[in-house]
Structure 1
Amino acid sequence: MTESLHPCCDPSSPSPIWEGNPTGTIISICGIETYIAHPNARDLSSDQHPSSNPKHEKVILFLTEGHGIYLPNAQLLADSFAHQLSIPVIMPDQFAGQARLPKDIVPSFPSSHATVPWTEDKDDPNYELRGLKAPVKENSETSDAYRFEKPPWWKKQAEGEFEKWKARHEPIVTDPILEKVVGWIRETYGEDVKIGGIGYCFGGRYIMRLMGAGVIDVGVVNHPSFYTMDEVAKLGNGTRLAIFAAEKDDILPKEKRRETEDVLEGTETTWRSTVYSGTEHGFSVRGDLTVKEVRLAKESAFRGAVQWFREWL
Structure 2
Amino acid sequence: MNPVNKTSTSALSKTEQDSINTVTQKITQHSNELRQRYRLLNYQNLIGASVMTVSVTGMIVMGVLYVKGLIPGWLCIVVNALLTSLIHELEHDLIHRLYFRKQPLAHNLMMLLCWITRPGMPSPWLRRELHFHHHKESGTETDVEAWITTSGSPWGAQRLLKLVDGFIFGIVNALFAPTWREKIRLTLKVLRLNAPLGLLYWGCWYLFLGYHFYEWASSLAGITHEPSPAMSMIMSVVNSAVVFIIAPNIIRQFCLFFVSSNIHYFGDVMPRNPLQQTQVMNPWWLWPFQLFCFNFGSTHCIHHFVVKDPFYLRQMTAPFAHKVLAEAGVRFNDFGTYKRSNRYSLSAQKV
TM-score (norm: length of structure 2): 0.28
Between 1 and 2, higher relative CO (CA 8 Å, sep ≥ 6) is seen in: 2
Between structures 1 and 2, the one with greater helix share: 2
Larger radius of gyration: 2
TM-score (norm: length of structure 1): 0.30
